[in-house]
């Protein structure tokens, strides 16, 4: 069986691998080699944390980011570092889901994207929030 030729050039791989491992709001992407397909990509982030904007107590949850890419695919390490920036941010669950959707959608310009936050029980109540957008 023939080996698949690497799709990314050495300079692209170096560029992607040269980032920091500290929290930062810098997203990275790589080219989608199959833009004609309706490929659904789902990223599950099970260690998301932010702060309650009222009490300052930590909130924990799982984020699911699903999208149909157009030209770009999100690089997962950059997403991890981006999400880490929320650890010290006081924000309502509904707002963080919509803020992430808008930031990721504007960056990637996918055909469709949905962000769901499954937030752990706090005060006896678990909260799930889903928001989505389609390309115009």
**The dihedral of CA 89, 94, 97, 100: what is its sign?**
negative
For residues 83 and 54, give the distance between their C-alpha atoms in angstroms, rounded to a whole number.
20
Pick the range with the lowest mean pLDDT from 18-22, 30-34, 79-83: 18-22
Q: What is the pLDDT of residues 63-118, one digit of tens each?
A: 999 999 999 999 999 999 999 999 999 999 999 999 999 999 999 999 999 999 99
- Examine residue 35 and state whether it is found in any structural domain, yes or no: yes
- Coil vs helix vs strand at 99: helix
Question: Residue 116 sits in which domain range?
Answer: 27-134
**Which residues are designated catalytic?**
52, 59
- Examine residue 8 and state whether it is found in any structural domain, yes or no: no
**How many distinct structural domains can be found in the chain?**
1
> Taking every pair of C-alpha atoms in the chain, what is the biggest distance, in angstroms?
59
- Examine residue 51 and state whether it is found in any structural domain, yes or no: yes
- pLDDT bracket for residue 123 (50, 70, 90): confident
Residue (of 77, 48, 51) closest to 64 by Cα position: 48
Mean pLDDT (whole number) for 16-43: 87
């Amino acid at each position: 069986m023939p080996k698949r030729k690497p799709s990314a050039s050495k300079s692209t791989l170096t560029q992607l691998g040269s980032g920091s491992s500290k929290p930062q709001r810098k997203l990275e992407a790589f080219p989608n080699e199959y833009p004609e397909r309706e490929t659904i990509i789902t990223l599950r982030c099970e260690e998301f944390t932010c702060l309650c904007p009222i009490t300052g107590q930590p909130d924990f949850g799982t984020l699911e980011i699903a999208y149909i890419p157009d030209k770009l695919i999100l690089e997962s390490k950059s997403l991890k570092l981006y999400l880490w920036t929320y650890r010290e941010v006081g924000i309502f669950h509904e707002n963080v889901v919509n803020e992430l959707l808008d930031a990721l959608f504007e960056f990637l310009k996918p055909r469709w994207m949905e962000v769901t936050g499954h937030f752990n029980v706090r005060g006896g109540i678990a909260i799930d929030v889903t928001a989505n957008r389609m390309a115009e």
